[in-house]
Amino acid sequence: MDAQLSRGHDLRNETVINVVALLREPLGAARLYSLHLDTMPLDADLTAERVSGEIRLTHLHDEILASVHTSGVAVLLCDRCLDSYEQKFTAEFTELYRQTVDVQTGSGVVSQLIPDDTEVFAIDENHELDLAEALRQWILLFFPMRPDCGATCPGPDLIEVGESGVIDERFATLSRLLDDEPGEALGPRKLTTQSYERVEVDGRTS
Ligand SMILES: [Zn+2]
């Protein structure tokens, strides 16, 4: 198959590739692309940065198989110290892109390899495929359920209680607020636990 391997243009801050030429080549023909993205939105409040990768597109029957290896960083919130840190990631995946419009006739294509009800990405009517959504989904899978800034993490910000055991004035205010909530235990540990719970809900855990 490598006899038909050629090099495509570099993808700089773009994820859309026109595959009309590749679709006109024999089955098994493949093309390599380098990917460089300064930033890429992963979610409402999460962005990948300095994304680089190698992409290999292979012409199957009415499909293009994309094989992707990519790496980069994203700023996550550490679950222990609650500070932000740069999390490196790598993602390696293959995805099928279904041809929807014939490159010769312009008429609709019914895939012979993929059943109609199978959800795969599509090559649009301009014969372009966009890697962005696949990249986004696969990169998100990499991140840990509990982000951790690493061995140098200072750990949770422990709340200091004076030697006399009297609660610091700052937390006395918090205590008064919490007093309104039935069944809430007071004290530093409880406050810390609550911080964790809030972060888990807001954090990028899926
Ligand atoms: Zn940390």
Q: 3-state SS of 14-38?
A: CCEEECHHHHHCCCCCEEEEEEEEE
pLDDT at 2: 53
Closest CA to 30 of 15, 8, 9: 8
pTM comes to: 0.71
Distance CA 188, CA 35 (A): 48
CA atoms within 13 A on the CB side of 99: 29
Cα 156 to middle of ligand 1, angstroms: 8
Query: What confidence category does residue 102 fall into, taking pLDDT thresholds of 50, 70 and 90?
Result: confident
Q: Are 31 and 13 in contact (CB under 8 A)?
A: no
pLDDT at 191: 41
Q: In the chain, pLDDT over 70 holds for what percent of residues?
A: 72
Cα 19 to middle of ligand 1, angstroms: 44
Q: What is the pLDDT of residues 26-79, one digit of tens each?
A: 999 999 999 999 999 999 999 999 999 999 999 998 899 999 999 999 999 999
pLDDT at 163: 53
pLDDT at 104: 78
Cα 204 to middle of ligand 1, angstroms: 15
Cα 155 to middle of ligand 1, angstroms: 6
187 pLDDT exceeds 70? no
| Ion ligand 1 neighbours, Cβ < 5 Å | 78, 80-81, 149, 153
Q: Are 119 and 125 in contact (CB under 8 A)?
A: no
Cα 44 to middle of ligand 1, angstroms: 22
pLDDT at 189: 42
Distance CA 188, CA 143 (A): 30
The pLDDT mean for the chain works out to 82
Burial bucket for residue 99 (CB in 10 Å: 0-12, 13-18, 19+): buried
Distance CA 31, CA 7 (A): 5
